[in-house]
Structure 1
């Protein structure tokens, strides 16, 4: 016999239900960014290393969610209490584990997809030479400690959160009188991933052949521009969940019981996201044309992502034209920032994660107060504008410095410990043969790069060119896609220099 369930008539209950269904939908959309990252990174590495990149991306999610559930989410609450006027309640910080309600498990899932994004960014910087065991342990550290600490300092109500009447605000926020603005994670997520990747790439060292005897960078093309650009567009699709989904309230209920649709807030977020994306792509195309003589598809893709990163922290806080300018600035900086990373710092950041996620995230978030949206401000280009204040600008600078300092020091300490424990880098022989063979005993492209028959033993690595079916130290058998003749440049077009 069917049990009858009374229809809820309380407006607040109905609004809460719709809002949490919205949160679930956007969480799934953010998860769809994971295959986007996988394709983007896979396209920018050589054919002999694609399987390793895919393995790391799956590990980011599978291991990351487990670690974030057991440790990371709770640690964020502990850090928040220790760096604010709130009372420390360790059991309360981990109460989500046994709380099946929306505030417990659904909120945790929404937090988890952001944590996994931060972890995944790192893999693009260290591709093609980092030991898989060390990478697994790095994922544990990022999802258990590095990212949750930043979450605690910001979104969870810690150090950088604004002052409150009861004195529970963050210590820095209370001192400056304002809270740190980063709506959807331009710095909390993306800059953390970009800086962690930069530190990891530095400590792991460059790929063999990346720099010549004089220290000049040499192009190491990736194997598929198609996969890289397709991954970019999938990421852009998922980004609507990232930004628009953070506007978690779709319906609000007033004191008199009336229900209002939050169309204006959602509209600003989705418009600024879209304009920032487009402006970033076009700015990067223009810069790459000026820099290299011709427009480069991969740099345009990187600029699109950088434009998104630049506005991710700003989307509800800035005017539409401010978002357009921030996106354009993020896209325009990608190529120069990448060249600085490679040519000046001598760091082999394979997918340019520092330029895309680190630089764009920091610059876009610091500049939020200059483009503030306000209904009481001056109407410029049809949208009210107001400078958000010197105190807010100071908080943005301080917040970026705090997050960056913690990320660099924490990631560096973890990697130095891992280097002593298991070693950060594969052997020269494994790097020559490809990490697919050396780390996993497979070949992603068996028709071109060795034998991955599931019934065969581990593919043979031959230093002398091998026999048919063997995997040569240059990445495959005769007739392979050679490592010096692939279609997509892993550095975004460096081969055109």
Structure 2
């Protein structure tokens, strides 16, 4: 009897620890929204900062409610389990874990949603972006997890006989968001002044490198919740899951570091300069690259995946910018899309203990990537094309020139840099031959600063 009570107490303690762990890592992942806000605000013009911050706030606020009321039910229904959402749970002791697990799923869903905002910055109507967020939280993302994480046997395993590997959402969350962002940016078209008549691209720099780097480091901190948090404290048999926790922690860290190195090296090789923003985004690309496979990757595999994910960033961004002519403002596709795809496809080649043939595993990964990409691009294109046909996708040229802070929100993020007379696109003003810069200094026509 005493032994039975003791075993029951141990089980309750283990459940309690697991629940607290899930809640803690969920809070860490939620904190990533602060990182996204800073990263994206830093990469847009001063006249669009408030708009970008508002989009980040509404992504969470609108999306999380929609995912609670509709998204989880759609995911369950698409997986063949019937439409069942957390609010349908009975108000008893068992409800707590239902709610905890829902929150854990919700922070992943909202990460996928907020990625899109960086791609469409500077020209998308707020109402259009919120409409897409609702569609993503209610249907687009839930269908993706219905094909992968929700069912006992995923769609890929039914097709190929081998399961699709994505530990923490490198493809399911990040690449899905990156593909959605690229599609939305393509349909919206580039910002005014982004391309010349001959097709050459103009650089439109962000207003704050400091914000961008701060956001990068905040995201990296929260990423430990994303990856390490997915590795439960205990195994299914109740043993401490230390080996997996340790592997995930070290592979996440190594890939993160090599992503920054890879992007910096390629930028240096191309231009002779180590571009700070490429280094920052390369660090994130390394994290995205490892997110699908941190539990199985060898240490050298983590180094290789991180290096490749970072190295491809300047190359893919250049391809998107100069060949596809898509204005991906915050480089969400090379950071989240192509890096996530690369990491998912690398799974069989860096696995520390592969139990199936490399070819079989690779085919499963290719099928999984292809199915997710096809659904995401198609569903996203439908939503944004409808909005475009209704004339609701993009702000007017006058509002775009004025800045979305004023046209969409009626605020000026940096009021001390502007004036009612002669406001220009970057938020400064020109009067009497002088220009007020966004740092508050005054540049005169003779080149002096005040």
Q: Same fold (TM over 0.5)?
A: yes
* Structure 2 gap ranges (5+): 442-450
Aligned pair 1:113/2:65, yes or no? no
Structure 1 partner of 2:345:
366
Hey, what's the Cα distance between the residues in 2 that align with 1:177 and 1:320?
28
Question: How far is 1:174 from its partner?
Answer: 2.8
Aligned pair 1:98/2:89, yes or no? yes
Structure 2 partner of 1:346:
325
Question: How far is 1:211 from its partner?
Answer: 0.3
Question: How far is 1:475 from its partner?
Answer: 3.2
Alignment match of 2:234 (pick from 218, 242, 251): 251
Hey, what's the Cα distance between the residues in 2 that align with 1:386 and 1:80?
27
Hey, what's the Cα distance between the residues in 2 that align with 1:373 and 1:218?
45
Hey, what's the Cα distance between the residues in 1 that align with 2:283 and 2:149?
26
Alignment match of 1:89 (pick from 65, 82, 86): 82
Structure 2 partner of 1:403:
372
Aligned pair 1:129/2:123, yes or no? yes
Structure 2 partner of 1:418:
387
Structure 2 partner of 1:34:
33
Alignment match of 1:283 (pick from 259, 262, 267): 262
- What is the TM-score when the length of structure 2 is the normalising length? 0.91
Instruction: Please list the CA deviations of residues 204-237 of structure 1 after superposition, one character each: whole Å capped at 9, or x if unmatched.
Output: 1101110001010011111110000010000000
Structure 2 partner of 1:145:
139
Structure 2 partner of 1:455:
none
Hey, what's the Cα distance between the residues in 2 that align with 1:481 and 1:98?
56
Q: 1:121 to 1:174 in 2, by over 3 A?
A: same
Does structure 2 conserve the Cα–Cα contact (< 8 Å) formed by 1:371 and 1:387? no
Instruction: Please list the CA deviations of residues 210-265 of structure 1 after superposition, one character each: whole Å capped at 9, or x if unmatched.
Output: 00010100111111100000100000000000000111x213474xxxx5321111
Q: How many residues align?
A: 429
Structure 1 partner of 2:447:
none
Instruction: Please list the CA deviations of residues 102-141 of structure 1 after superposition, one character each: whole Å capped at 9, or x if unmatched.
Output: 4310000000000110010000001011111111101111
* Structure 1, 139-148 or 235-244: larger mean CA deviation: 139-148
Hey, what's the Cα distance between the residues in 2 that align with 1:244 and 1:480?
46
SS at match of 1:10: helix
Q: 1:25 to 1:315 in 2, by over 3 A?
A: same
Structure 2 partner of 1:456:
none
Hey, what's the Cα distance between the residues in 2 that align with 1:51 and 1:264?
44
Q: 1:119 to 1:296 in 2, by over 3 A?
A: same
SS at match of 1:129: coil
Structure 2 partner of 1:437:
406
Question: How far is 1:471 from its partner?
Answer: 3.9
Hey, what's the Cα distance between the residues in 1 that align with 2:65 and 2:284?
28
Structure 2 partner of 1:211:
195
Does structure 2 conserve the Cα–Cα contact (< 8 Å) formed by 1:314 and 1:364? yes
Structure 2 partner of 1:19:
18
* Structure 1 gap ranges (5+): 1-5, 82-87, 158-167, 375-384, 451-465, 486-497
Structure 2 partner of 1:189:
173
Instruction: Please list the CA deviations of residues 48-95 of structure 1 after superposition, one character each: whole Å capped at 9, or x if unmatched.
Output: 1100000000010000101111111111111112xxxxxx422xx325
Q: 1:190 to 1:99 in 2, by over 3 A?
A: farther
Does structure 2 conserve the Cα–Cα contact (< 8 Å) formed by 1:119 and 1:139? yes
Does structure 1 conserve the Cα–Cα contact (< 8 Å) formed by 2:287 and 2:306? yes
Question: How far is 1:422 from its partner?
Answer: 4.5
Does structure 2 conserve the Cα–Cα contact (< 8 Å) formed by 1:96 and 1:104? no
RMSD of aligned residue pairs (Cα, Å): 2.0
Structure 1 partner of 2:444:
none
Does structure 1 conserve the Cα–Cα contact (< 8 Å) formed by 2:268 and 2:274? yes
Structure 2 partner of 1:55:
54
Does structure 1 conserve the Cα–Cα contact (< 8 Å) formed by 2:175 and 2:341? yes
Instruction: Please list the CA deviations of residues 156-213 of structure 1 after superposition, one character each: whole Å capped at 9, or x if unmatched.
Output: 01xxxxxxxxxx6235413422110000001100011101100111111101110001
Hey, what's the Cα distance between the residues in 1 that align with 2:312 and 2:279?
12
Question: How far is 1:439 from its partner?
Answer: 0.7
Alignment match of 2:223 (pick from 239, 245, 259): 239
Q: 1:171 to 1:191 in 2, by over 3 A?
A: closer
Does structure 1 conserve the Cα–Cα contact (< 8 Å) formed by 2:128 and 2:392? yes
Q: In the TM superposition, what are the counterparts of 1:254-333 in structure 2 within 5 Å?
A: 254=237, 260-333=239-312
Hey, what's the Cα distance between the residues in 2 that align with 1:7 and 1:50?
57
